[in-house]
Amino acid sequence: DADVTQTPRNRITKTGKRIMLECSQTKGHDRMYWYRQDPGLGLQLIYYSFDVKDINKGEISDGYSVSRQAQAKFSLSLESAIPNQTALYFCATGQGSYEQYFGPGTRLTVT
């Protein structure tokens, strides 16, 4: 089984809808991250969490919110989706300041 899983893997939604992307990990890591990836751009950090009670904004948090339900679960919500949020979204985990392990990604399309 994969160490980091994301659901759904693909999602098409309409402008204005609320949508939640979920991430689970079995690596036992304390840190979890949400990134978005757009063609020609590097991975951009949306939110990160160092533990259940510690959640922080990244570079591009506007229009997004997160919830850390447990050490192993970190969800990303788009409160009112807009077309420029169409992107590939990745969850990642890490322990301390070491390498990150990424999930398979969610391809989100907002029409």
Partner 1 sequence: EDQVTQSPEALRLQEGESSSLNCSYTVSGLRGLFWYRQDPGKGPEFLFTLYSAGEEKEKERLKATLTKKESFLHITAPKPEDSATYLCAVQAAGTYKYIFGTGTRLKVLA
Binding to partner 1 (CB under 8 A) within 37-96 occurs at: 40-43, 45, 48, 50, 56, 58, 90, 92
Q: Which amino acid is at 104?
A: P
Nearer residue to partner 1 within complex by CB, 50 or 61: 50
Residue type, 51: D
Q: Which stretch binds partner 1 (CB under 8 A): 11-19, 64-72, 73-81, 103-111?
A: 103-111
Q: Is 83 helix (H, G, I), strand (E, B) or coil?
A: helix
- Residue 80: CB minimum distance to partner 1, A: 27
Task: Return the structure tokens found at 20.
Answer: 């939640």
Distant-in-sequence, close-in-space partners of 50: CB < 8 Å, separation ≥ 6 = 30, 31, 56
Tokens linked to 37: 């990836």
- Residues of this chain that interact with partner 1 (CB under 8 A) are 4, 40-43, 45, 48, 50, 56, 58, 90, 92, 97-105, 107
